Structures are given as C-alpha cells and as structure tokens.
C-alpha cells in the first residue's frame, strides 16, 4: 500500500468510525412485491456481516434488517440490499420513496441472483427514467477501496456464459446504486455447505461485499 493510499485509508477509517454520531452501520434487505423471493440466500448477509466484523473497522449491527420501502424505519438505514430469482414489482409509492431515498444520501446494492434482471431493470427505469446503467471499469475505486480486486467484479456462479458486470447508477458524481450482474455474490456469501464453493471463490465474494459497503460509506 503506497503512502497516498495509506493516508486515504486512514481518512476513510476515521470517517466510518465517527459516522452517524457513533451509531452502528446496518444492512437492510428490501422486501418487495411481485412474487420474487426477496428472502433468498438467508445465510448470505449474516456471513457477510460476520466477515466485516472480523476483517474491518466498520461498526456494524449483528443482524440484517428486513423492510418494505414504505416502512417508517427506512430512514434509519443508509444501505439497502435487494436480491432474488423472480419478479420484482414496486408500487407507485415505493418508486417515489426509493427515488427520494437514493437522491438524498441512500445507497442500493442489487445482487442478481439469476432471474431478477429483467424486472429489476424495468423497475429501476421507473425510479429513474432518464438514468442508464454504466459499467464500472476494473480500475474503479469500488474494486480496490479496501481489498484489491484487479479483475473487477468476481464471477461466483455460472449461468448464461456471460461475464460478471458491475453496473452503476450515478447522481452527478455519486454512485447511488451498484448492480452486481451475472456474478451472484450472495451465493458466495452463503454457508459453504449450501453451494460447496471453493474457499477462494467465497473469499472473493466476501471481499467484494466489503468493498461495496466501504465505498458506499466513504465516497
């Protein structure tokens, strides 16, 4: 780690440790309508949280939250996670709420768990009709902000023979949503016995999860 990166790392650590007036960071899983399994990969976030606690200075709550976008508790969470295999459908109210949330400091990580891509893109187009997903290059900070992942978004599970893509939505220069497409990070976060992924695959998925959260907190 060079001197400049060390300085930036220290600044980011201080920012995380003092953010939200000492309140612990939390991950909130989105409970959406439309019939898709918003609850899929149940061991994924607990394992990611445990990895964050062990390997970083982020003060994070032990358990994931699960909420609908219309829940009053949404304002207490700066980071949303959405995944699943099937159809996603937001109500008109949820569209307005999610747009306001993202434009006012919130961050969304969407993880393609195979089968949600078409409906997720459709719903996000309702949220931001004028925005387009942009593929982030491998040298983007999200891939090296904490752990160095020189090849970009890791490929965890093979589905259609497509490469993993890290896609972003931006508001001015701020990344407001990150979409891990054709990667299946959540499967890499799950208990090893679920998918029998090799340790190096699981480690790459967990490191990418840390990077996403660290970047969201410090950009």
Residues 135-183: tens digit of each pLDDT: 999 999 999 999 999 999 999 988 788 899 999 999 999 999 999 999 9
Which one is predicted more confidently, 157 or 32? 32
For 31-51, what is the mean pLDDT? 96
pLDDT in tens, 116-129: 999 999 999 999 99
Q: pLDDT value at position 21?
A: 42
- Given pLDDT bands bounded at 50, 70 and 90, which one contains residue 24? confident
Token pair, residue 120, equals 């997720």
pTM score, whole prediction: 0.91
pLDDT tens digits, one per residue of 64-76: 999 999 999 999 9
- Distance CA(29)–CA(7), nearest Å, equals 33
pLDDT for position 9: 53
- pLDDT score of 17: 47
If DSSP states are collapsed to H, E and C, what string results for 90-132? CCHHHHHHHHHHHHCCCEEEEEECCCCHHHHHHHHHHHCCCCC
At 41 the pLDDT is 93
Work out the number of other CB atoms within 10 angstroms of the CB of residue 211: 22
State the chain's mean pLDDT as an integer: 91
Domains of the chain and any CATH numbers: 3-218 (3.40.50.12140)
């Amino acid at each position: 780690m060079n001197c400049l990166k060390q300085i930036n790392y220290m600044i980011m650590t201080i920012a995380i440790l003092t953010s939200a007036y000492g309140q612990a960071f939390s991950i909130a899983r989105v409970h959406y309508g439309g019939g898709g399994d918003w609850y899929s990969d149940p061991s994924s976030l607990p394992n990611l949280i445990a990895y964050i606690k062990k390997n970083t200075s982020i003060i994070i709550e032990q358990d994931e939250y699960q909420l609908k976008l219309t829940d009053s508790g949404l304002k207490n969470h700066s980071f949303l996670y959405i995944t699943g295999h099937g159809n996603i459908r937001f109500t008109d109210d949820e569209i307005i709420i999610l747009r306001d949330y993202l434009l006012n400091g919130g961050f969304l990580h969407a993880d393609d768990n195979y089968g949600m891509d078409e409906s997720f893109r459709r719903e996000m187009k309702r949220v931001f009709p004028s925005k387009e997903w942009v593929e982030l290059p491998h040298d983007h900070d999200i891939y090296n902000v904490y752990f160095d992942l020189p090849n970009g978004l890791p490929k965890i599970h093979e589905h259609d023979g497509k490469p993993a893509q890290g896609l972003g939505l931006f508001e001015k220069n701020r990344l407001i949503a990150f979409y891990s497409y054709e990667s299946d990070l959540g499967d890499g976060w799950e208990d090893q016995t679920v998918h029998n992924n090799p340790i190096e695959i699981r480690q790459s998925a967990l490191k990418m999860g840390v990077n996403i959260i660290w970047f969201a907190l410090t950009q």
